[in-house]
Structure 1
């Protein structure tokens, strides 16, 4: 049984659902159809983070409350692990390297700031509450960067240069407090972007965004720039029902990638950082006609496990976190070969989302076919078996890949 008692602006939920015990949460005025997130202290037994530490009871799983404003009563629906991980990331893209509540003597000031920005003293998830109470406003921005000098987008510690680290440093310097940045997705070391999207939360809803973008661009290295900054769009209907804010990751409805190749004899040194010499990457000259014939095989809804790296590892992590099976099914809406002239060609992909190294492995398979090492039917075999022979098909070099844009409803 579960009893709800209204007291001092809080709804106290007493009782339990299975092993779950709900905690007191603030009750700001909300429409009757809106569900308010509440933090649940239940935890799957014996669950561990990959570094071996046990999950603490305050690790921030979320359950949802149905709000009945007429009686000021809330009913706990369920207390299950939320697909929203700390830092607003979906479970597949959640950085699990360190438990969010583990503090060690070696913890850096920035790591501590990153943790405290997500959780309050009681270990409850701070971000949702501050947005729902109107203490902060969510903003979204496009980011373009030359990935040559970066170890990917995602922050990996103060010793490694990352795009996220550059953005967070600029924002934190500007506002003199740590400001987390959440991207639509990661990009690998050396991968570029002209249309990455990020969101971040600020206390001032009337922030001069043109001035903020200008200031950030002055503070950051020349190989990272922000543009098209605005207030985040409204949440989707399903997010409104659950009480979730708009997210650059979860609201993305598609992505466009391009991979640039040179099929001539001598690649210009001016293109060496952004275009791959196809015959060198493939190990022999390639047949462009075979590229045209083979690339349509990638279009459609398929299980792309064979085109991804570390599938077993990620599936294990997800199961250990109590988040169910790791879904490797993706949809490629279009894939085509574009002749840019002068021996330059471009492979364009429009898809709903990409697994780890999925696009680079798809390009690697295409190059293996175009070089005559494999038959075009190898694509069908990889889909059927969910296995790719890494001795024959290598991920194409990172520097040829660009994330062109992330697609949203309500944000260009």
Structure 2
């Protein structure tokens, strides 16, 4: 009698977070990305499938290159996981690629970097076409002081001032490898590349940068905010609409290169 062996797979996903109550499964049958994906994969496998994600995203947050892994004993091709999953699943979630992996690969614990982009518009009236896709402020912004403030965050810091009270991370100390602001005050891309991010960290950073750009906080006061290590003295959290998880870094042995920004996500803003 033959014994079935387990195969580990990695999937790269894109999704529109506005359509769901976040990534993680929740009680009460709320629509979440994890629930939609696991239901589709379980249908294809004809057995229960549970996925592990590189990083959970909140309600309203999007992804262009999220990574998950799962184990299964059934034999399916990469094409079957991609095409079958997309045919079965909610149209707001797409499997971009499927790849068989070594048994020791872990989508979360093997990731050493995450990339996020926040898209921000500034105008007196919020354009309805951008609802759910871009963050917005009615304040005119100055991008130069925003860049000066952002530069203070690069490196290893205690990000408690930018951490949600609901955060479950063991430590608020994270390393931000790079942070860049491109575009114009009217259409801005804020790119962050870090080891990991505490809960709401990107949206809280953007909220503080908006205060700097609007003249409601100086660069020196932004530095004081970082040093304070307290969320109680920080500006409000920015809306989730403009936040995109755009890539996850893994060691070369896993052959999962970090994807380039898709052309429709305004990658060439300067």
**TM-score tier (shorter):** 0.7 to 0.9
* 2:182 is equivalent to residue 338 of structure 1: yes
Secondary structure of 2:22's aligned partner: coil
Q: Which has the larger radius of gyration?
A: 1
* 2:269 is equivalent to residue 404 of structure 1: no
Match of residue 253 from structure 1: 112
**1:345, 1:371 → 2: CA distance?**
14
Match of residue 364 from structure 1: 207
**2:228, 2:187 → 1: CA distance?**
33
* 2:9 is equivalent to residue 139 of structure 1: yes
**2:118, 2:194 → 1: CA distance?**
14
**2:231, 2:16 → 1: CA distance?**
30
- CA contact 1:298–1:379 (8 Å) conserved in 2: no
Match of residue 61 from structure 2: 191
* 2:175 is equivalent to residue 314 of structure 1: no
Secondary structure of 1:314's aligned partner: coil
Match of residue 295 from structure 1: 150
Secondary structure of 2:231's aligned partner: coil
Match of residue 262 from structure 2: none
Query: Cα deviations across residues 80-135 of structure 1 (Å, max 9, x unaligned)?
Result: xxxxxxxxxxxxxxxxxxxxxxxxxxxxxxxxxxxxxxxxxxxxxxxxxxxxx973
Alpha-carbon distance, 1:265 to partner = 3.9
Structure 2: where are the runs of 5+ without partners?
258-270
Alpha-carbon distance, 1:267 to partner = 4.1
Instruction: State the TM-score, normalized to the length of structure 2.
Output: 0.87
**1:389, 1:379 → 2: CA distance?**
14
By relative contact order (CA 8 Å, sep 6+), the higher-ranking structure is: 2
The alignment's C-alpha RMSD in Å is 2.0
How many residue pairs get aligned? The number is 252
Structure 1: where are the runs of 5+ without partners?
1-132, 236-244, 316-325
Secondary structure of 2:230's aligned partner: coil
Match of residue 261 from structure 2: none
Alignment partner of 2:136 out of 260, 277, 283:
277
- CA contact 2:21–2:30 (8 Å) conserved in 1: yes
Query: Cα deviations across residues 359-383 of structure 1 (Å, max 9, x unaligned)?
Result: 1111111111111111212332233
- CA contact 2:142–2:185 (8 Å) conserved in 1: no
Match of residue 231 from structure 2: 388
**1:363, 1:342 → 2: CA distance?**
13
Structure 1 stretches of 4+ moved >6 Å? none
